[in-house]
Amino acid sequence: MSAVLAVALAAAAAQTRNVAIVVYPGVELLDFAGPGEVFAAAANAGAVRGVKAFRVYTVARSKEPIVSQGFLKVTPDYSIADAPRPDLLVIPGGSSGVVTRDEAFMAWAKKTAGEAEIAMSVCSGAFVLGKAGLLDGKSATTWYGAISRLREETPKADVQEGRRFIDQGRILTTAGVSAGIDGALHVVARLLGRAVADRTARYMEYHWTPEPYLAQKYPLLDPRLDARGRAAQQAGFLEDEGNWQEAAKAWRALVAQDAKDGFAWDRLAVALAQSGDIAGAIDAGTHAAEISDGRAGALVNLACIYARAGRRDDALHALELAVGEGFSARWRLENDRDFDSLRAEARFQKLLARL
């Protein structure tokens, strides 16, 4: 029974922010892969009722494959001609002159960065923002080996060395290579709260230690959430701590407020199962499975609980219903220890084959 990545609930519909990552021939691998990993992981860690926090995609001059670091071939998702408008734009470094010397590419980058909620550069990606005039009057940084050149090319900017990243509101610049990870985690903490950023870093097993003067400004809880959503996120903290009895109390309070909340019923079922109350977990899981909101996932969790109780036929039936509802994560069935007692069953093997 896998732990939930995101437990936030909100009354209002969640919105997914577009994150466009620019790629080009000679782009530095970790410059784009690091922030890409952060935003992709945070998309799940900051999901609200199944709606991901971010949609991450790559954009290049054309859709022709590009080569990063001399060995990795990347096929861009979009070209500058058809890329969706991003909320967040990431401009990695490397051979960034490919962008600045290309009139059409540069025009797109200038317009897109100027309209984005946040435009973030990594390493020599700062030269793109500099040529666009977006660093004028601002503090900025880049890879330590390019500080002098950035000062020469952007005389109206306050270019600082020794900084991991510099946040100027809508413009954020980072130092080289791995610094893009820190900059991206900072953006996640700004937009989704410290708890989501911490969960993202923990998933990545990345040693993230934000500066105290920045950390004190991060909201702990996701600022997108209403009072009910904040209560749900706090219930998730109890799950993270392994305090399943208190988590069950928190989720029970939420279903008492709204008996049609399938997600809260599902998390209550998990908390009760982890607390050892299998009968209560089956009751809560049944309620969750009766509600269309997230029904497939709720059925899989109910199958876990049935399997723990030794009710193999009920567990298999719940899994069959889950697959019928669109569940497709074969790895979950292959790796979840709760299903060990089902693995020799022909019905279980048939389900695996369907996935």
Residues 56 and 175 in one domain: yes
The predicted pLDDT at position 66 comes to 98
Residue 74 lies in a domain: yes
CATH of the domain at 267: 1.25.40.10
Residue 24 lies in a domain: yes
Range of the domain at 315: 242-354
Name the nearest CA neighbour of 124 among 198, 27, 190, 206.
27
Residues 69 and 127 in one domain: yes
Mean pLDDT of 52-79: 97
Q: What is the C-alpha to C-alpha distance for residues 174 and 305, in angstroms, rounded to an integer?
A: 46
Residues 193 and 256 in one domain: no
Name the nearest CA neighbour of 59 among 83, 35, 40.
83
Q: What is the C-alpha to C-alpha distance for residues 254 and 276, in angstroms, rounded to an integer?
A: 20
What pLDDT, in 10s, does the model give residues 303-315? 999 999 999 999 9
Residue 222 lies in a domain: no
Residues 140 and 255 in one domain: no
Residues 248 and 198 in one domain: no
Residue 173 lies in a domain: yes
Token pair 């939420």 is found at 254
Residue 330 lies in a domain: yes
For residue 47, what are the CA distances in angstroms to 41, 192, 316?
A: 10, 10, 29
Residues 195 and 305 in one domain: no
Residue 132 lies in a domain: yes
The predicted pLDDT at position 2 comes to 39
Whether residue 13 is predicted with pLDDT greater than 70 in this model: the reply is no
Residue 8 lies in a domain: no
Number of domains observed in the structure of the chain? 2
Q: What is the C-alpha to C-alpha distance for residues 107 and 113, in angstroms, rounded to an integer?
A: 10
Residues 22 and 153 in one domain: yes
Residues 266 and 191 in one domain: no
Name the nearest CA neighbour of 302 among 342, 334, 267.
267
For residue 246, what are the CA distances in angstroms to 113, 121, 198, 224, 242?
A: 45, 43, 22, 24, 9
Residues 178 and 305 in one domain: no
Residues 185 and 297 in one domain: no
Whether residue 268 is predicted with pLDDT greater than 90 in this model: the reply is yes
Strands 165-167 and 171-174: antiparallel
Residues 82 and 134 in one domain: yes
pTM: 0.88
Residues 208 and 247 in one domain: no
CATH of the domain at 53: 3.40.50.880
Residue 225 lies in a domain: no
pLDDT band for position 294 (50/70/90)? confident
- End-of-domain residue from the set 177, 196, 215: 215
What pLDDT, in 10s, does the model give residues 106-150? 999 999 999 999 999 999 999 999 999 999 999 999 999 999 999
